Amino acid sequence: MILSHLRVWREQGWTPIDATSYAEAWQRYGGSVASHPQVVERLADLAGIAVRYLGWFEQGQLLAAMPTWGRHLALSKDVLKRQGKRGLFDLGNAEIILPVADEVQVNLRHRARYLSPLMDGRVKTLRAQAEGLALAREPEQYSKKFRYNQRREQRLLEEAGGVVRSMLELTAEEQAAVYAELFERRWGFAATGKAHLAEVFALLREFMTGSLIYLNDAPVAVQVLYRVVAPHWVSLEYINGGVDPQNREFSPGSVLSFINTQNAWAEARALGKPLRYSFGRADREYKDRWCNKVPVYQV
């Protein structure tokens, strides 16, 4: 009975909807990688946790929607942990943009972190989060010296035998093997969800983007990037990466960041849309080189 009352309070103003209605709201009002209908559906199915979709209606019109797992937004790390599925998949600290119309303000009482600054003004219940979010700068915001040095490093790497390949040239199994190995070399411990990487990469293949770098036919730098196109912007999440430390003199990780960010901006601009290229939580010094720190919110 108490749990029932809590759900009534939590969902006040919201109405259950189906997955199709949620997908229509996302396509109308936008969202991010972590709220994309297919990302939510496929990862929730992998976890075996049903999604409850909720909609906010005014005058019979669906103006906002969200996917939920109990008292949390769907794909929550806390829910995975509580159900004994911690680290099943990795979305990093992804920027959360829910499909909410410009002209509406909703009450959100489900637990969530890393809610986008785009939600400020559309969601009444936001609280500022201590951490900021790191969003990649536009190419013109880097100094001429910075861009010159990045191009020089790329040229030196290619002269030494470095080759840039698209991630989509590899199968999901090959992607998983490369990423797992380079992540462990870089950090000294296993990547989150290592046992399920190939399955997750296969499920999200249509959203995967970016490149990786080989040197002398061996992979030396890789980044896991997912990209979705919303009506008014492009959302791209840099989940994590790996680098072979033995090739540090060629700075393959930095070169790869330059290549991936430059290409992503070019693709977004070709679509005539701004790019929200998130490096996740603004918690490491290297992100300061590439990103602007922006506010982020929680409920």
CA trace torsion 182, 246, 168, 163 (10° rounding) = 180
Q: pTM value?
A: 0.94
Q: What is the mean pLDDT of each run of 10 residues along the chain (299 residues)?
A: 71 93 98 98 98 96 97 96 94 96 94 96 93 95 93 93 96 98 94 95 98 95 98 97 85 94 97 97 89 95
- pLDDT for 241 equals 95
Question: What is the per-residue pLDDT for 5?
Answer: 66
Select from 28, 48, 20 the least CA-distant residue to 103: 28
The predicted structure's pLDDT at residue 38? 98
d(CA 45, CA 47) in angstroms, rounded, equals: 5
Report how far residue 184's alpha carbon sits from residue 181's, in angstroms, rounded to the nearest whole number.
5
pLDDT for res 165: 96
Residue 222 contacts residue 212 (beta carbons within 8 Å)? yes
In the chain, which ranges are E strands? 15-17, 52-58, 61-69, 72-73, 127-128, 133-136, 162-166, 208-209, 211-215, 218-229, 234-243, 275-281, 291-294, 297-298
How many CB atoms neighbour CB 245 within 10 A? Answer: 13
The reported pLDDT for the residue numbered 2 is 53
